[in-house]
Amino acid sequence: MKLETNGVMTLKNINLLNNDFLAKITTLEQEVNVIQQTLGTATQDIGGLQQQINVINDELNRQTHFRGYYLLNTDIQNLPNSANGDFAFSAESGTVWMYDAAWYNSGDIVPDQVTPASDAIPLVDSGTGVAGTSTEYSRGDHKHPLQVSDVLPAKDTAVGTVGQASSYARSDHQHPIQTVDTIPNSDSADGSYGTVDSYARNDHSHPINVETNASNIPIVDGVGNNGTSAYYSRHDHVHPQQLTYDGNVTATKFIKAGGLSTQLLLANGDVTTDFVTKTTAQTITGVKTFYNQITADGYKIPNGTSQQMLLANGSTKPLVLAGKNFYITGSVQYIKLCTFSAFTEPADVSVEFTCNCRTGFGLIQFNQVYTSDGIGTYQYKLQSNMSYGMDVCYIIYFGTGADRYGELWARVLLWSNYLTFQQTNQSQETIPLNDVLISKMQPQLPSGVSSSQALFANQFNSIIHINSSLNDNRAGLRIARQANGAGIYLGSSPATDGGTTAGQWNIITTPTNSEQNPLGFTICLGNDATKNNRGLRISADGNTLTFNGRTL
């Protein structure tokens, strides 16, 4: 069968239909197609309804097994009557918990909204507030009705009020101005806190509180009086002049016409320049006696020195830097005067001590030399006391090298009784000078020393050069004859001022009562001075010369 474009249907080369009949058939076909499409749409609608029914069934089933929202995981785990398929939302973990024989954390995130949102307009806040019964949520873009007051704000009161309105004040509200329109009061003697509920304007001013009556002028100074007036004095007021005062007058200054800053105003009105100032150097002529205390930065007397003390009667005495009293009876005692500590800087440390006892004053001046290697040489000058007191001093050294230090000691004779040692002078460098007159006396010198040297009066540690300007027999070295004779001793011990040392040679003249060459001249070993016929001898008359007893 073939359908041509002209509407003729041919079946095995036989024309069956014409165009009119074909048009009717085409119309019928279109109607059939419309019916089929309608049936298809209905079928789809039925399928959609079925799906909605399934969703409703699922939601019903879900609501049957949904146990709700809980704050803690343990709240869900302890739910009673749990059945398989039950589920709940936990705020603690933020996940969905499922029940299958036991509650477990499914790990699924809690959905944002599982109940429907409310379409109602949010309520206005109330004064007491309500918990609410709605099970619907507010939408994220919800708005509450505006809850502000349209009433004019009230003025402040003295006692205030809590208020009863349940509405808020608008941010651009204004209270009525609360100021007073009356003139402020003048100050009063007693004052008043006031009763008005209004505030004062910032440009207010009080009435002037001064005396305005021109006839009431300030009174003349007289007997002190607190006064009773409630008025203040004007800053440019002037008191009437008062020329005569019978009482005390107090003022910041008194000015005399024509007076100078270099003059002093006297009680009778005269001026003088004969006075002592505090800030300039002045000389007071004559003796001035003061019966009160005088405080000054220093006191200076004519010809005074830094080694003198000014006494209360105006006289001076030598400066005493340190002092100590002792009492010596039946045995010789040794007193430590000071310590020269170890020191490794080039310096000279000098010190002076006096010994005051019943037989005059003794004096020891000692200078200790320091080098960069430590303690070095020394110099001294000794003036011993007469029969008692200090007769010899000692410098004793301990240690070696840079750690070497020294001690200055004095020997005091027995029965010296009361005596006083005083430090009367010292050098500028005093850092190594320590332990000045702080020790007790003791019967012997300390032991364990590295070296010790006796310091005798008139002993010299340097070359002695005699160059006399005299041209007679007074020139040269003169040694007076004593009761025991006189002599020169060569090779003696530096630690003693007497006795005999091995290898010592004597050049002596013996006394009158000597058994060996009396008043003669003898050169011999120290140990042979008292032996017969020893040494080289010249008789007292100068005529006989012998050597070891043999006449030459």
3-state secondary structure 156-189: CCCCCCCCCCCCECCCCCCCCCCECCCCCCCCCC
Alpha-carbon distance values, 207 to 210, 231, 237, 406 (Å)? 9, 12, 19, 92
For position 47, what pLDDT does the model report?
Answer: 66
Assess contact for 17 and 24: CB atoms under 8 A: no
Q: Read off the pLDDT of residues 227-258 as tens digits, 9 standing for 90 and up.
A: 778 788 888 888 887 667 777 878 888 788 88
Position 1 confidence tier, pLDDT thresholds 50, 70, 90: very low
Residues 38, 392: Cα–Cα separation, whole Å: 152
- Could you tell me how many residues make up the chain? 552
Comparing 234 with 115, which gets the higher pLDDT? 234
d(CA 356, CA 422): 8
pLDDT category at 333 given cuts 50, 70, 90 is very high
The pLDDT, as a whole number, for residue 40 is 66
**Distance, CA of 309 to CA of 320 (rounded, Å):** 8
User: In the predicted model, is pLDDT for residue 6 greater than 70?
Assistant: no
Does 310 score more than 50 pLDDT? yes
Amino acid at 519: L
Q: Which of 103-112, 347-356, 500-509 has the lowest mean pLDDT?
A: 103-112
Alpha helices in 291-353 (DSSP H): none
Structural domain spans, the chain: 72-109, 322-455, 486-551
- Structural tokens at position 340: 């020269």
- For residue 16, pLDDT over 50 is answered with no
Contacts of 144 (CB under 8 A, 6+ apart): 122, 123, 124, 125
Which whole number is the average pLDDT over 25-37? Answer: 75
pLDDT mean over 165-192: 83
Instruction: Summarize pLDDT for 521-549 with one digit per residue, the tens.
Output: 999 999 998 888 899 999 999 999 999 99
pLDDT over 70 percentage in the chain: 87
Q: Does residue 259 or residue 374 have the better pLDDT?
A: 374
Query: CA of 528: how far to CAs of 224, 400, 537, in Å?
Result: 109, 39, 12
Three-class HEC string of 467-524 = CCCCCCCCCCCCCCCECCEEEEEECCCCCCCCCCCCCCEEEEEECCCCCCCECCEEEE
What's the mean per-residue pLDDT of the chain? Answer: 83
- Of the pLDDT bands very low, low, confident and very high (cuts 50, 70, 90), residue 347 is very high
384-407: average pLDDT: 95
pLDDT band at 278 (very low <50, low <70, confident <90, very high): low
| 65 has pLDDT over 90 | no
Instruction: Specify the higher pLDDT residue, 370 or 1.
Output: 370
- Residue owning tokens 């509200």: 173
CB crowding 482-510: b at 16 or more within 10 Å, else e: eeebebebeebeeeeeeebeeebbbebbb
- Nearest residue to 74 (alpha-carbon basis) of 52, 40, 97, 101: 97
